[in-house]
Structures are given as C-alpha cells and as structure tokens.
A = this chain, B = another copy of it.
Amino acid sequence: MKLTKMALLGFGTVGQSVVKGLRGDSFPSLQLTHILNRNIARKRETEAAGYAGPEVVWTEDIADVLDSDVDVVVELIGGSDPAATWIEHALRSGKSVVTANKQLIAYRGPELARLAAAHGVQLLHGAAVAGGVPVIPGMQQGLGGDQVVRVSGILNGTCNYILSRMETGDRYADVLKDAQALGYAEADPTADVGGFDARAKLCILARVAMQAELDPEQVATQSIAEVDAVDFAYARELGSTIRQVSKAQLLEQGMYARVAPMLVPLNSPLAWSHGTQNMVVSTGRMGGDVVFSGHGAGGDATAVAVLSDLLAVAQGSRAVHLAAEPKSVTGDSVAPHYLRFIVNDKPGIVSAISGALAAAGANIDSLLQRKGYPKQRLAFVVTTEPCLNSVIARAVDSTATLDCMIARPLALEMLVVDDKDEPTA
C-alpha cells in the first residue's frame, strides 16, 4: 500500500481530534509526518500529542512543511492569513490540501480549486460546512443528478444553541453568557449571532448544490440578537419556533440568499434541530426535499470530515464536480412576514400601524395580541400576506417613527412548509 504523508497545520481542538482519530491502525494508508503550531512546546504537552508518534516533526516554521515530501497539507488554522498563502504554496508545490476554513473557501474557493486543478492535486473542504454532517460529499456524489433549486440550513451551532434555549424561556443575554462559558460562543459573538459564519457556509453550499458562485458580501444578514423571549411566545401561537436560517434559492434571474432569524413551522425539519446541531434541507426538482443533520461543530465531529477527506485523497478518489458560475444575489423574495411591535398602548395605534403597513404595500394577514403585557410596553404581532422583504423593510422604517413605538419593530421572514411532495410510488 502506498503511504500518504500528511502535515497538520494547527493543533487546536480539531487538529487534536484528527490525531486521536489517526491512532491505532484505523487508517493504515495515512502517515502523519508534521505538526505545525505556534508555541509548539506547549502543544506537545497535550494528551493528543501522545498519539502523534515519535517520528512526527513538530515545527513552528511552515517551510519545514512546504519543503518536505508530504502529499497532503491539512489546514486547520483558520482565518485568511497566513492560511491562504500557505494553501497556495502547498497547491503550487503539488500537495493536496484538506481544509476546514469556511471563510477562505467561501471567498476564494473557486480560484483555489482552479489552482489545485492546474497542479493536478485536490482541494477538499468537507469540514467547512456542518462539520461531521457529510452534506458536501453527499451532495457532490449523490445529488448531482438532480437540479437543486433551494438550500435551507441551520448552519451555526452557536445560534441554534442560543435560540433553542430561548425557546424554553431563557433570555438572550443569559443564554449568550452560558454559551460563552461553555465555549460555544466567542467573547465577541458577532461572527456567529450576526450571521457572518453561516453566510460563508451558505455560499459554499450554494456552489456545491446549485453551481452558483455567490459573493458573500452580497448576502444579507440579520442578527439574532434582536429576537426576544416575547417572539418565541408569539411564534408558538403561530405553530412555529425561531431559528437562524440560512437560505439560498434559485430565482428566474439570479439567486435569493439570506441569513436571518426566521419563523420556522414546527412541522418543518428545520424545527427538529436542537442544541448545537446543524441541518441542511436541499430541495431538488426531481427528488424533493433531502435532509442532512448531525453535529456541525466540535473537534471530533469536524475531524470526521477532515479524516474522510484525507481518505479520499489517499485513495485518489474524486468526487463528482459540476462547474459553478457567478450568480447575482438578492435578499429580496416574496414571503409572509412576522412583525412584532412594542408600543405604549393608546387609542388609534392599530389604525396608525395598519395605515403605515398599507402605505408601504404590506397586507395584514393576522393580528395577534397575547394577554399579560403592560399597557405602557405592549407587545403585539402582525403577520402579513406574502410580499417582498424590501416592502417589509420599508414598513419597519415607517412604523418605527410612530410616536407610540417604544422599540424598533422586529420583522422576521416566515418559512412556509410545502407539504405537497408525497412521492407518487
């Protein structure tokens, strides 16, 4: 058997899990030869270092890796620099690359893939989306025969942890603190709660599933920090819950793509996911909905994706590749919306709000008012008939300026579950 020599860049949580996974004779075709990290002395004291074997070269100098005869470089340091430079060097020197770097693949994936192809090596990034859930390989190898028209996902475990805790009555600020203590959320949680992490993953999925190259900067995001406990109470009355949903859908021209907290009906698969789980629902013209779910983060789950990609490189296996093309992006699509207002209750308020909505072009579908909120800080909800997100944005702007309004109104897109797709046999 030909041995595939591999170098690990980054010996953090995922890197250590990869080395643990390699121990014993599980992967006789893979040989770990280098581990690179800053402050390597400290890393050598970890438990996982004990599994690395005595022949491994521990180094802080990338030249040791790039000048060696390793066949594959596993990039687990994240960020854009020096990761991008190192990956380019590796590919140019004829080494395949396995990476979990979602931002890099989202922004520069097509260009790096061309570089890999030009040098006859592979660039695999199964770990960049949904960690241990084999959605990228599953789509490449198993859905290439369909025309996927929509991908919706729960792509950020931190947000899912926060929102599924809020679903049971906890407050955003408290849950965020817990998530930070548990290591699920960073000290600065913006990348997660603001939707930027999920946005990168959505762009990668759009490329793999729908052959659409999206510019991540063009994908609209909405933070989950605006969602309040009261919204879960109203969502429940609407037979729904709230999740950070990443959604991309083919339009007649271009593509709708957006990452935002959305109302998810309880009978949607997206409502099944709880805790830090990830889920992707892909909708194909022929095959209908396909659901992938599992643990999207964590060292061990992510290591499964890395090790599976390493096996693919070692075996010289190649996934089906469909050429992608750049596609323009809009955050605007037609959907029903949920609008939550917090007002100082006075006569004429419903009239003022409904007038402002009508002026913006949004038709009210239902008006909900739960008991138990004080008149000076009354929370009530309007759902609209399907209309463009941009119409709703205008409606929010105009109602926000009403005298009675105590907080800026919150608008959430409402997902609609399409239940017609029973197969015919």
Q: What residues of chain A have their CB less than 8 Å away from a CB belonging to chain B?
A: 13, 17, 21, 26, 126, 131-147, 157, 183-184, 269, 272, 275-276, 284, 286-295, 297-301, 303-312, 315-322, 421-425
9 shortest interchain CB distances as A-B pairs: A134-B142, A145-B307, A298-B423, A138-B138, A137-B141, A132-B287, A145-B308, A137-B142, A290-B294
Chain B residue with Cβ nearest A286: B300
In contact, A421 and B295 (Cβ under 8 angstroms): yes
Q: How far is the CB of A425 from chain B (nearest CB, A)?
A: 5
Residue among A26, A141, A184 with max Cβ neighbours from chain B (10 Å):
A141
Q: Which residue of B lies closest to A134 (CB)?
A: B142
The answer to whether A286 and B21 have CB atoms under 8 Å apart is: yes
Contact partners of A423 in chain B: CB under 8 A: 157, 276, 295, 297-298, 300-301
Q: Give Cα A284–Cα B117 distance, bound, in whole angstroms.
A: 32
Contact of A294 among B157, B184, B287, B305 (CB under 8 A): B287
**Interface pair B422/A276, CB less than 8 Å apart:** yes
State the Cβ distance, A227 to closest chain B Cβ, in Å. Answer: 22
Q: Which residues of B contact A286 (CB under 8 A)?
A: 17, 21, 132, 300-301, 303-304
A142 to B295, CA, bound (A): 13
Q: With A308-B320, A316-B318 in contact, do A294 and B300 touch (Cβ < 8 Å)? A: no
Number of copies: 2
Beta-carbon nearest neighbor of A275 in chain B: B422
Asked if residues A291 and B290 are in contact (CB atoms below 8 Å), the reply is no
Residues of B within 8 A of A139 (CB): 134
In the bound assembly, the distance between CA atoms of A295 and B140 in angstroms comes to 18
Whether A272 lies near B269 (C-beta < 8 A) is yes
Take A284-B304, A287-B301, A425-B184 as given contacts and tell me if A141 and B317 are in contact as well, using a CB distance cutoff of 8 Å. Answer: yes
What is the CB-to-nearest-CB distance from A316 to chain B, in angstroms, rounded to a whole number? 7
Residues on B with beta carbons closer than 8 Å to the beta carbon of A17: 286
- Measured in the bound complex, the distance between the Cα atoms of B309 and A312 in whole Å is 17
Residues of B within 8 A of A144 (CB): 307-308, 311-312
Residues of B within 8 A of A316 (CB): 318
When distances are taken between beta carbons in the complex, the residues of chain B under 8 Å from A303 are: 145, 286
A272, B291: Cα distance in complex, Å: 11
- CA gap between A319 and B320 in the complex, in Å: 9
A234 CB → nearest B CB, Å? 25
User: Which chain B residues border A275 with CB–CB below 8 Å?
Assistant: 422
Contacts of A137 in B (CB 8 A): 137-138, 140-142
